[in-house]
Amino acid sequence: MSAVTDEQDALTGLHVAVLGPGGVGGLLAALLARAGAAVTCLASAGTADRLRTAGVRVQSGQFGDFTTPVDAAERLTTPVDVVFVCVKATHLDDALDRVPADVPGDALVVPLLNGVEHVGLLRRRYPEAGVVPATIRVESTRTEPGVVQHGSPFVTVDLVAVGGLEQRVRRLAGALHQAGVTTRVGDDEQAALWSKLNFLAPLALLTTAAQATAGEVRESRREDLVAIVGEVAAVARAEGAPADEEQVVDFFDGVPAGMRSSMQRDAAAGRPIELDAIGGAVVRAATRHGIAVPVTARYVDELRARY
């Protein structure tokens, strides 16, 4: 995985569509638009009207507080260079109706969703497009339509260049870097997807079950934390991805103590949670490989019964 720091003028003429301008999509839309990209947000009629009128307002310790104008529509009607898919996994099927299969053409389709199973779905739906496996690490929340609160002191995007897409993916990485996003490009799809899930699964499952912060659960549920990290790592290795349990636990110990997972916030607000895309995906992959994941499965079952 290599960091991108030397791309020049990657934003010139770049037209980006953002499907789902929420906490993640809204932040990326605002940063890219502020840096000079042409950005169109795809959302419901009410949200699209609000965005066209007022733009996206970001409140961020890292980037400051700013508002930037964006275009917005209910559906994508013209080709673009990049489509960022930033909706929750629970809303993916319905949201994709805003991007008709014949419109993106050979655009890069970059899903920034939790889980691992959506990449295949997008490749089937958009066979002419270049689907780029990707992950984002950030704590960012939409507090109301067009308003994003960015709470983490970082935004890191990992992109995977496969199938002859390296030049275009590196241009996109350069654009993100110019917009202020730490961006890395790699060539191992499974490594990128499972390295995030190895951290996200324990974070989401533990914080949601306990309705507590990362700092609280890494102390009060330490044994379960270590167990889930180890179980997901075993599944990741079976899927062909490298996994280092000790490194993941160290990273978990280093995140801000007050960090909360998006699954936890959704559960607290009474919204559908991404349990199936995160914990369910681990359990399904474990079953395929005949790997026992008792602690992960216990939390998945508990949360499924509760929510």
CATH number at residue 248: 1.10.1040.10
Q: Which two tokens stand for residue 256?
A: 């801000």
pLDDT of residue 302: 98
Domain count along the chain? 2
Q: Choose the final residue of a domain: 187, 213, 235.
A: 187
Chain mean pLDDT for the chain: 94
- 278 part of a folded domain: yes
Residue 2 has pLDDT above 60, yes or no: no
My answer on whether 211 and 96 are in the same domain is no
My answer on whether 215 and 173 are in the same domain is no
Residue 106 has pLDDT above 70, yes or no: yes
My answer on whether 42 and 168 are in the same domain is yes
Q: What is the pLDDT of residues 278-299, one digit of tens each?
A: 999 999 999 999 999 999 999 9
My answer on whether 79 and 173 are in the same domain is yes
pLDDT of residue 5: 42
- 263 part of a folded domain: yes
H/E stretch holding 56 reads strand 56-60
Q: Give the dihedral sign, CA 137/138/141/147.
A: negative
Residue 82 has pLDDT above 50, yes or no: yes
- 2 part of a folded domain: no
- 6 part of a folded domain: no
- 10 part of a folded domain: no
Using CA atoms, how far apart are residues 234 and 238, in angstroms rounded to an integer? 6
Name the β-bridge partners of 184: 3, 158
Residue 58, class by beta-carbon neighbours within 10 Å (0-12 exposed, 13-18 middle, 19+ buried)?
Answer: buried
CB 67 within 8 A of CB 54: yes
Residue 4 has pLDDT above 60, yes or no: no
Residues of the domain holding 250: 191-306
Q: What is the pLDDT of residues 252-272, one digit of tens each?
A: 999 989 998 989 999 999 999
- 297 part of a folded domain: yes
19-43: average pLDDT: 97
pLDDT of residue 289: 98
- 232 part of a folded domain: yes
My answer on whether 124 and 203 are in the same domain is no
Q: What is the pLDDT of residues 37-78, one digit of tens each?
A: 999 999 999 999 999 999 999 999 999 999 999 999 999 999
For the entire predicted model, the pTM comes to 0.89
CATH of the domain at 77: 3.40.50.720
pLDDT of residue 79: 95
Alpha helices in the chain (DSSP H): 23-35, 45-54, 92-95, 118-125, 166-178, 189-210, 214-220, 222-238, 245-254, 262-268, 275, 281-289, 294-306
My answer on whether 160 and 54 are in the same domain is yes
Residue 7 has pLDDT above 50, yes or no: no
pLDDT of residue 133: 96
Q: Which two tokens stand for residue 72?
A: 């917005």
